[in-house]
Amino acid sequence: MTVVRQIATRVAVRTNGTVVETGDRDTVFGEPRHEYTKRLLAAVPRINPEWEAARKRNAGAALGREGLHERACE
């Protein structure tokens, strides 16, 4: 669902071969109407905000080390 939200502009939700909801991405994800869509979106795993912040800090630190390595090799 996360990838769909990032790349789609329109979304259709199907269950048991039947389309139960369609609409633009922001409406379907932000204000789902059908109960199945609501349950589907509620089941999407969420990243713990503290883990996400640590991941970003670590990624920034790694980029800083790469820049130092590149300068040392010049």
Our count of domains for the chain comes to: 2
Residues 61, 34 share a domain = no
pTM over 0.85: no
For 44-73, the pLDDT digits (tens) are 887 777 887 888 888 877 666 555 444 445
Statement to judge: residues 14 and 38 lie in one domain: yes
Do residues 13 and 35 share a domain?
yes
Q: Mark residue 22 as left, alpha or beta (left: phi above 0; alpha: psi -120 to 50; beta: remaining).
A: beta
**Are 37 and 67 found together in one domain?**
no
What is the domain range of residue 64? 47-74
CA distances in angstroms from 56 to 2, 6, 17, 29, 39, listed in the order given: 18, 19, 39, 25, 29
d(CA 68, CA 8): 38
Kindly state whether residues 6 and 19 are assigned to the same domain.
yes
- Greater model confidence, 3 or 23: 23
Residue 60 in tokens: 């920034």
CA–CA separation, 67 vs 18, rounded Å?
52
